[in-house]
Amino acid sequence: MRMKLDICPESGFLRVGAVGEFSLEEARRTFLEMLETVAQHKVEKVLFDGRGLVGEPRTIERFYYGQFAARAVAESIERGRFSRSPQFAYVLEEPVLDPQRLGENVAVNRGMFVKAFDNLPDALGWLGILFANKPDAGTNFNHG
């Protein structure tokens, strides 16, 4: 099953819900799709709800995804699509969420502004999304 994104521009941020089976190829494809939408809507914050993703990414896939995402953001900045890195909050569940946060660390070390969370309220707080913009904290964007 391919990964599928549900992308919704909100006031001040982009809400992205993801469902399907994780694969590195699909993760790269959907990241570029998400990045294109960020540029189109000129938003600086992204809430990525991947609680609808399944699979068990291997360690090397986590590394490559973090490297790819950071490179794609850096190239977008170089091309003038962004003035700085957008802020990305990923909400995931294990085993897609890595308890060691390898992909996050790889991306951060390469200049990306990203953090992974295991719950929606913490991700919203880190993004600084006000209550008026806040989706129902009990709602999984992928199944609601």
In the block, tokens 């913009």 appear at: 133
Which whole-number Å values give the CA distances from 94 to 42, 62, 99, in the listed order? 31, 13, 8
| Residue 121, phi then psi, degrees to nearest 5 | -60, -40
Domain contains 61: yes
Residue 99 DSSP label: T
Q: Has residue 139 been placed in a domain?
A: no
List the CATH number of the domain containing 35.
3.30.750.24
Domain count, the chain: 1
Half-sphere exposure of residue 136: CA atoms within 13 angstroms, side-chain side: 7
Residue 19 is part of which domain span? Answer: 4-133
Answer whether residue 141 is part of any domain. no
Which stretches of the chain are DSSP H helices?
24-41, 59-78, 102-109, 120-127
Q: In this structure, is residue 51 part of a structural domain? A: yes
* Tens place of pLDDT per residue across the chain (144 aa): 799 999 999 988 999 999 999 999 999 999 999 999 999 999 999 999 999 999 999 999 999 999 999 999 999 999 999 988 999 999 999 999 999 999 999 999 999 999 999 999 999 999 999 754 445 544 444 433
pTM for this one?
A: 0.89
Cα–Cα dist 40/126, whole Å:
23
